[in-house]
Chain A
Amino acid sequence: MRGKIGFFRWFIGFFLLFLYAPAMLLPIFAFNASSIVSFPLTGFTTEWFLVLFTNETLHLAARNSLLIAITTAIFSTLLAVLAARASTRFSFFGRRSIMGFVMLPMVLPEIIIGVSLLVVIIQMGFELSLWSITMGHILICTPFCIAILSSAFMNLDKSLEEASFDLGQTRWNTFWLVIFPLVMPGIVASLLIAFTISLDEFIIAFFLAGTEPTLPVYIWGQLRFPAKLPSLMALGTVLLLVSIGLLLIADYFRRRGIRKTGIENTGGFL
């Protein structure tokens, strides 16, 4: 018995180390006063962060990424609301298989999605642009949004809707007065997750980027120049903090939603 628990502890310990140690290197070297990324550390500096403020191409890439991430978040969530609502409330022919296909991009290798989208867009004679990246991102983000929103919609007691209708409210108002407020935390969580996924997505953005790179594509491009490495570490640190921040906020909303509907908290990512 003890042996088993001991092994489990070690396993968890190593797992966490492998998972987070590399990420921890980012902030360490971001503040290291040497342009060579290696130990031992030579001193403390915020120089690499200051470099970020003056880099025009970086700003452009960041702006592109934000634009794409925001658009993706909105559209994926919108689509996911419709899908989640349909799959939890109505039963229609082939519902299971349809939902299966909708969720597929979640497990499909991104490189396949990237290549096939590239082929399609070029064949159809469209220009590669921020829009093509956005489309790709919507495709891969929507399943995650559906997963989040399905549970939000599923937790909703159907008789709440019926009660509202029974009390004389229209279906439209029922949606806005009862359903929407109760799934709102799920919607916020979905927006944040889609935003986060899109913001740091690389493969699809790499394939579908025309002349305008996104942030991850820009970073990849800069990796060729060793001198740029420390400032990339600084950039990575910023992105890491933003991502963790967004995830925390998303989970806060998910929990709040659960509390509101009075259901016991089960799982979640934090």
Chain B
Amino acid sequence: MTLPIIRLSGLDKFYGEFQALSQINLDIKTGEFFSLLGPSGCGKTTLLRAIAGFETLSSGSLQIDGLSMEGVPANKRPTNMVFQSYAIFPHMSVAENVAYGLKARKLPKVEIKARVAEAIDMVGLQGFDERASHALSGGQRQRVALARALVLKPRVLLLDEPLSALDKKLREQMQSELRRLQRAVGITFVLVTHDQEEALTMSDRIAVMFDGKIAQVASPQILYGKPSTRKVAAFIGMMNFLDAKVLAASGDNVEVEVQSLGKLTLSLEQATGGLNGCDSVGVRPEMLTILTGSQTSEREIEAEVTEVSYYGDMTYYDVKFPSKEDPITVTMRNTAGREVLEVGAKARVGWSTSSLLLLK
């Protein structure tokens, strides 16, 4: 077991009376692509800036590479940051921007030149060396910011919503490029984002934050497949919730009652956040199917289609059970020969007990 590159323990941050971060405990592993994900205002930037050294901690400790960062200013930390606004120095050329940190380290001119060229190459900005930085596009600025930080070979690269200013197409392209870059350089990346899709596709692990607290830290698969609370489940992708009551638990089995589905026996593992306080079951829309013709499923329930949203490759159905509960969503892939149902149509919804999660 290698030492975590970043270890946060019991970290609190107050702005006056307001607590922006509370009791953050987090280990980030060396060389991983780690994301901080959460809604606006949950404290992601504050946490990232605390790691970078721009915010002082109210209490708790921060270790980078096994060393306490207490009293270590930002310019002495083995971290570099890519700012949301990119913060490219407007009065310098691309090459001068990239060379900035190396010059601060007073490296020999020859080495600076070689490393700058290498970094500019790495981010695909060959030939832009002498370009004035205000004459760059958003994507190019982003690359300069990356090159400027990576050229210093930091132990950790911190990125604060680096893709949010780019349009969709460019954003997707930069996502895979960032991932490729991270694998190539092997540096630990800590990415702040409020875009769950971005976090899922890019990260090795993700910390989901709400209101200054970490709700869950897990790999994308686990976060999506086994979210520990209802809040996390609702934030990552779509999830249907049905009120449920835990009747009994014995050994590995949990007896629950769900209004429309009746009494069910689930495995204890399906209570991903522990059994205490569970009051609903959740199921992902794609875990449900609308059965056609002679198709059968482990379980079936009659429902009525109340809303149809057609997305080309997928159709989103809102269906209502005979009981009084709110409609739930079912997504179906539009494979060959599958008919798109209309509002008001009767549908047989197929489901299985193993796809349910017991959540609080």
Contacts and interface: CB of A to CB of B under 8 A. Distances in A.
A93 to B, nearest CB: 13
A159 interface: yes
Interface stretch (A60-68, A96-104, A126-134, A163-171): A163-171
Interface stretch (B75-83, B118-126, B314-322): B75-83
A173 interface: yes
Nearest to A171: B75
Interface string B162-201: 0000000000000000000000000000000000000000
A178 interface: yes
Interface string B51-92: 011100000000000000000011110011101110101110
A167 B134 contact: no
Contact of B100 (A167, A181, A261): A167
A157 interface: yes
A163 B145 CA distance: 10
B74 A169 contact: no
A124 to B, nearest CB: 44
Nearest to B82: A163
A260 interface: yes
A168 B89 contact: no
A170 B149 CA distance: 16
Contacts of B347: none
B90 A182 contact: yes
A160 interface: yes
26 contacts: A157-B87, A159-B83, A159-B85, A159-B87, A160-B87, A160-B89, A162-B54, A162-B87, A163-B83, A164-B100, A165-B73, A166-B54, A166-B74, A166-B75, A166-B79, A166-B80, A167-B80, A167-B152, A168-B75, A168-B105, A168-B152, A170-B104, A177-B100, A181-B91, A262-B90, A262-B134
A71 to B, nearest CB: 30
A173 B104 contact: yes
| Band of interface residues on B | 20 to 34
B101 interface: yes
Contacts of A182: 90-91
A182 B80 CA distance: 23
B348 interface: no
Contacts of A162: 54, 74, 81, 83, 87
| Band of interface residues on A | 20 to 34
A177 B104 CA distance: 11
Interface in A156-211: 157, 159-160, 162-170, 173, 177-178, 181-182
A interface, over-half SS: helix
Contacts, number: 64
B148 interface: yes
Given A166-B52, A178-B89, 5 more contacts: A162-B83, A162-B87, A163-B81, A168-B152, A169-B104
Interface of B: 52-54, 73-76, 79-81, 83-85, 87, 89-91, 100-101, 104-105, 134, 148-149, 152
Given A162-B83, A260-B134, A168 B101 contact: yes
B148 to A, nearest CB: 7
Contacts of B152: 167-168
Nearest to A156: B90
Most A C-beta atoms less than 10 A away, residue of B75, B80, B83: B75
Contacts of A178: 89
A169 B106 CA distance: 10
B104 A166 contact: no
A166 B73 CA distance: 9
A58 B101 CA distance: 55
Contacts of B101: 167-169
B134 A166 contact: no
Nearest to A181: B91
A179 B53 CA distance: 20
Most B C-beta atoms less than 10 A away, residue of A157, A159, A261: A159
Contact of A165 (B75, B90, B134, B149): B75
B157 to A, nearest CB: 11
A53 to B, nearest CB: 43
Contacts of A260: 90-91, 134
